Amino acid sequence: MNRVRLILTVITIVINAVPVAGVLLMYQNNLLGLVVPPEINTIVNDVVVPEEQLGGFPGNVTFVDSHYDTTSRTAMLTFEVTNPLQFDMTVDSMSADVRCDEHDFPLGHATINDPVAISAGETAEIDVAGTWTQDALHHFLTAHAGAKNVDVELTEISVTVNGVSIQTGEIIKIPDFPVM
Amino acid sequence: MKSMHLRINWVGLAGGVTTIVVVAVSLFYPWWQLRVGDGLVTANVSPLNTSFSVLGTSFTMPLVWAMNIASILTFLVSGITMIIYSLLPAKSYSKTLLGFAYKKPLYTLLVFVILLFASTLLVQTLLHFSVPLEGSTNSALPIPLIQGTTVSALISTGFQLPFWLAIVAAGLCIAARIYHKRVAAVQEQEVTLVVATPIAPLATEASAE
């Protein structure tokens, strides 16, 4: 019986010590590698974009075009968004408040209708739709009488990418936005 | 017939087989999984097979991998030992086999739960975002991305099938230890009967003389 106990004790020691000792021997010249595998360095170096390359939140967002449908009072903004990551991403939703740049007057709310998939390192166009409020139309008639275009800004921007929600205090200014 | 039935510790046999099944299932499914966002970060945590995936890149830590191998071997040896014991519960070395085998799944389970609880508590304390042990929560991530920007993500966690299977295996192994007393008691009765049987013919022979 003592022999059985001895055998079981030896087995316990061997199955616990051998794998750990083996890995320790393999990484004896690089002990940090025991807990930091090369893949983490790959993620840090290749996948995560340096901040200077990211260039601030709106740095990857370029305003392309806009048009206004008078019947539905809907403004359509087109942006080019670049995915700087080595990882495909999907813009699930985006929303922002639209304000008059000159008077800081709230004009409406802008959102995207459908999710947009952007492959790693690629650029895609995102259409953002916004509807002017009655107050906004009144503001255009009183404060911007006769003007066809108004400088607006997007504030309180919220973007959900791959289930991660990003809310920024950054402001995107859009000059000469068609309002009539 | 009943004593024949009790010569095998059926509870131990079930415990041993379940322990080996836990190893097989754990190679494909984690005991506990954490998901951040829509596939941005995934942690598959298990004493037998732990791996991580960040932005589509999968990796495991060599030290954790070695410990996983040790746990796999421990579970396998425990399961096999439990099966051998269960088939031969009356042998002189059976109690030693049982004492070795029944504790391993329980200890592994306890250490796993304690470490998991401690890890989530540590993350909550140091990084100030909550990671539930089971369920989903929307947590603000401590990423110093850009000033004035907050990043929050849906964090989903949950215990998976192998964890519940490991609880069953540990329970069966403990039950086998308790059931062993009954098997041993029947064995003692049988030994008493075997020892008592030759006395009767001797007595008969003596009276005939």
Q: Which of residues 31-50 of A touch B (CB under 8 A)?
A: 33-37, 39-40, 42-43, 47-48
What distance in Å separates residue B27's CA from the closest CA in chain A? Answer: 17
- Domain locations in chain B as residue ranges: 2-183
The answer, for A22 touching chain B at a CB cutoff of 8 Å, is: yes
DSSP output for chain B: -HHHHTTS-HHHHHHHHHHHHHHHHHTTS-SEEEEETTTTEEEEE-SS--EEEETTEEE--HHHHHHHHHHHHHHHHHHHHHHHHHH-TTSTTHHHHHHHHTHHHHHHHHHHHHHHHHHHHHHHHHH-----SSEEEEEEE----STTEEEEEEEEEEE-HHHHHHHHHHHHHHHHHHHHHHHHHHHHHHHHHHHHTTHHHHHHHHHH-
Residue A57 pLDDT > 50, yes or no? no
Per-residue three-class SS string for A82-108: ECCCCCCEEEEEEEEEEEECCCCCEEE
Residue B203, pLDDT score: 47
Q: Which of residues 49-88 of A touch B (CB under 8 A)?
A: 51, 54, 56-57, 85-88
What distance in Å separates residue A60's CA from the closest CA in chain B? Answer: 13
Binned at pLDDT 50, 70 and 90, residue B106 comes out as very high
Residue B47, pLDDT score: 95
What distance in Å separates residue A114's CA from the closest CA in chain B? Answer: 17
Which of chain B's residues have a Cβ under 8 Å away from the Cβ of A51?
145-146
How do residues B65-88 score in pLDDT, each as one tens digit? Answer: 999 999 999 999 999 999 999 998
Q: Looking at the partner chain, which of A11, A43, A169 has a beta carbon nearest the beta carbon of B148?
A: A169
| DSSP code, position A47 | I
Mutate to test the interface with A, among B50, B51, B54 (most CBs of A within 10 A): B54
Whole-structure pTM value: 0.77
Residue A20, pLDDT score: 94
Residue A58, pLDDT score: 42
Percent of chain B with pLDDT over 90: 58
Q: What is the mean pLDDT of chain B?
A: 85
What CATH code is assigned to B2-183?
A: 1.20.140
Q: Looking at the partner chain, which of A87, A168, A169 has a beta carbon nearest the beta carbon of B55?
A: A87
Residue A48, pLDDT score: 59
Residue A180 pLDDT > 70, yes or no? no
Mean pLDDT over residues A170-175, rounded?
A: 82
The least confident of A33-47, A51-65, A124-138, A162-176 is A51-65
The least confident of A73-87, B62-76, B84-98 is A73-87
Mean pLDDT over residues B176-200, rounded?
A: 67
What are residue A173's DSSP bridge partners? A153
Binned at pLDDT 50, 70 and 90, residue A63 comes out as confident
What distance in Å separates residue B63's CA from the closest CA in chain A? Answer: 5
Residue A51, pLDDT score: 52
Residue B33, pLDDT score: 96
ipTM of the complex: 0.75
Mean pLDDT over residues B105-128, rounded?
A: 91
Pairwise CB contact (< 8 Å): A8 & B58: no
Residue A21 pLDDT > 90, yes or no? yes
